[in-house]
Structure 1
Amino acid sequence: MHAATSHLPRALPQFLPSARDGLQRFGLLHQPGAGRAVRGRVLFVHAFAEEMNKARRMAALQAQALARAGFWVLQIDLLGCGDSDGDFGDASWAAWQDDVRIGAEQLRHCGSSPLWLWGMRAGALLAAEVASQLPEPAHCLFWQPASSGKQLLQQFLRLKTASGLISGQGKGAMAEVQAQLDAGASVEVAGYQLPAALAKGLEKSRLTPPALAEASPPRHLLWFELSTQAEASFSPVAQQAHEAWRAAGWQLEAAMLQGPQFWQTTEIEEAPALLAATLAAMERHAG
């Protein structure tokens, strides 16, 4: 299904310093395929905690496909994640926003083709918040975006309280965890040391469309979700979000595709329909 490794465009490691903490962020920059006209620059903003690890293969496959089609693609590991400096317990939502800006700034060295912020799950929340803070207009590509950081955080915290609930000793466990975070303490969840600064920032995050200037050129949002069901439709929450982005002036293209929820499956899985639909849409909007 995929091109042989020897035919893939080169991917160059990037070590990007942060003025906030002096630590380096690791990135992987995929160059456009040889002989291809540059069609855009894409910054991938990964998912949260273990979802990031589960989604790495899909992100790599999509980055390679986009590069073959003529896009620059930068995959950046946020502070405390992947191969970047620091520990997860060092992270904050503000630092992660800075990291997205660092990645976008790095892509400015790759020319002036259209910029896309490609967010996966919590990465979509970060992309939406940072899009209005950049010195150039950015389009957005969302994979299974979280509707709110609060909902995602609650799902993550349930991993800590689940064992207690099953054993009958978990009454008030979620309230206790929340009290620790409110007091500024870190909480260990499924092997991750979750700092209060990250939890609070995530909790306040919403998938709110950035306001566009009246004379702003068209801004595109590609929104893809997966369902294991053949005839699934978007949730009412997602539909409301679609309307909000359209009302804010964004040109939305949304599709519900059939495939595994690879960011949370036990085994590493692929969703070919998502790869194909994303590439086709990106090529279409790149002209």
Structure 2
Amino acid sequence: MPVPDAPRAEAFFLQTEPGQRFCLFHPPAGACRGALLYVPPFGEEMNKSRRMAALQARDLAARGFGVLLIDLYGCGDSSGDFGEARWDLWKHDLALGQRWLRERLGVPVSLWGLRLGALLALDFARDAHEPVASLMLWQPVQSGATFLTQFLRLRIANDMLSDDKEKGGGTKALRDQLRAGEALEIAGYELAPAMADAIESLDAAALFVASCPVHWFEAVPADGRPISPAASKVTTAWQAAGAAPQIHLVTCPPFWAAQEVTECAALVAATTAVFAGIAA
């Protein structure tokens, strides 16, 4: 069945406090079948994933779904500096986007989160004032502490290459600096102690959501490969807690970490098919 062209996206700013948030709305073609709010990943992963986010939004819009892409506080073209961002402020931004979408389209809003954005979506959905219709999770981070360690290693790698490198200490020394209240410059992003604390405390196994359908999309390097042991541990914990996540394995490169802009048509198609099935 041929897919109609997606309507032209609408760029605008949502006024809030503090400042404003840049948004890109992909209106649905024809009658609205549902709505999705995109929750982007952290740091440079956000920029590397913009192409995939745009492709997915257009594909959904062409099939009758409205999609809102929002730059969270301190990110992209929104107000604030990255070092001023806070986890709770990002959750406030999601509430803002959710309310805007519901008022614009008149339908319940689902969340679509990528990497650390998947954990933000889960955390938001657990105590959102307005119910979340469903959750679409792309390659969720399983451990905030592990993610933070990997991010801190970017600073260590940069120090090793610089002429004024500081020797020794590793990620423990960087964590000590954060605990002492010192912000760190890492790969062009200022990491505030409060944000580091919030990320460190995240445990995907504890962020289960049983109040709505949850679909976990895991990128695998080849057909027939199973879900990673770490991801399997998380989903098993969710099932034990009463949640019922649906797992979708998609052969897909890690576009969020690729050096060049990378696409994955299989992930776009799988996500659209699942969301269309929920709407039906």
When normalised by structure 2's length, the TM-score is 0.91
Letter in 1 for 2:202: S
- Between the aligned partners of 1:258 and 1:74, the Cα distance in structure 2 is 26
Summarize deviations over 1:64-96 as a string: whole Å, max 9, x none.
111111111111111111111111111111211
Whether contact under 8 Å (1:77, 1:83) holds in the other structure is yes
Query: Once the two structures are superposed, what CA deviation does each residue of 1:25-46 show, in whole Å capped at 9, x if it has no partner?
Result: 111111001x2x3121100000
Q: Count how many residue pairs are aligned between Structure 1 and Structure 2.
A: 275
Does 2:247 correspond to 1:254? yes
Q: Which residue of 1 aligns with 2:149?
A: 154
Equivalent positions of 1:66-105 (< 5 A) are 66-105=60-99
Q: What is the CA-CA distance between 1:211 and the residue it aligns to?
A: 5.3
8 A contact 1:228–1:258 mirrored in 2: yes
1:193 aligns with 2:171: no
What's the secondary structure of 2:140's corresponding residue? coil
Q: Could you say which residue in structure 2 is the equivalent of 1:241?
A: 234
The equivalent of 1:173 in structure 2 is 170
Unaligned runs of 5+ in 2: none
Counterpart for residue 16 of structure 1: 14
Contact 1:124 1:143 in 2 (8 A): yes
Structure 1 pair 59/285, CA: closer, same or farther in 2 (3 Å)?
Answer: same
> Would you say the 8 A contact 1:131–1:210 is kept in 2?
no
Written as runs of structure 1 = structure 2, the 5 A alignment for 1:111-130 is 111-130=105-124
1:173 positional shift: 2.9
1:132-183 CA distance string (max 9 Å, x none): 2223321110001001211111111100112445799642132221111101
The answer (yes or no) to whether the contact 2:220–2:227 under 8 Å persists in 1 is no
Matched residues in 2 for 1:134 and 1:111: separation? 19
**3-state DSSP class of the match of 1:15?**
strand
Cα deviation, 1:10-39, whole Å, max 9, x if unaligned, reads 2112312333xx211111111001x2x312
Distance 1:123 1:227 in 2: 19
Q: Provide the rounded CA distance (Å) in 2 between the counterparts of 1:3 and 1:170.
A: 56
- CA RMSD across the alignment: 2.1
Whether 1:227 aligns to 2:223 is no
The amino acid of 2:25's aligned partner reads L
The share of aligned pairs that are identical, in percent, is: 43
**Pairwise CA distance, 1:115:** 1.8
CA distance in 2, matches of 1:14, 1:170: 46
Cα offset, 1:3, TM superposition: 7.4
Tell whether the 8 Å contact from 2:208 to 2:243 is kept in structure 1 after alignment. no
Shift in CA distance, 3/54, structure 1 to aligned 2, threshold 3 Å: farther
CA change 1:211–1:267 in 2 (3 A) is: closer
Q: Find out whether 1:145 has 2:140 as its counterpart.
A: yes
Give the Cα–Cα distance (whole angstroms) in 2 for the partners of residues 239 and 210 of structure 1: 13
C-alpha distance 183-18 of structure 1, shift in aligned 2 (>3 A) = farther
Q: Tell me by how many angstroms 1:210 deviates.
A: 4.7
Contact 1:125/1:148 (8 A) holds in 2: no
Which whole-Å deviations, capped at 9, do the CAs of 1:196-241 have from their partners, x for residues lacking one?
11111111122234555xxx6xx21111111223332112221122
**Bigger CA drift: 246-255 or 219-228?**
246-255
CA distance in 2, matches of 1:255, 1:23: 38
Any gaps of 5 or more consecutive residues in structure 1?
A: none
- Alignment match, 2:201: 204
Deviates more, 1:238-247 or 1:68-77: 238-247
Amino acid in the other structure paired with 1:158: R
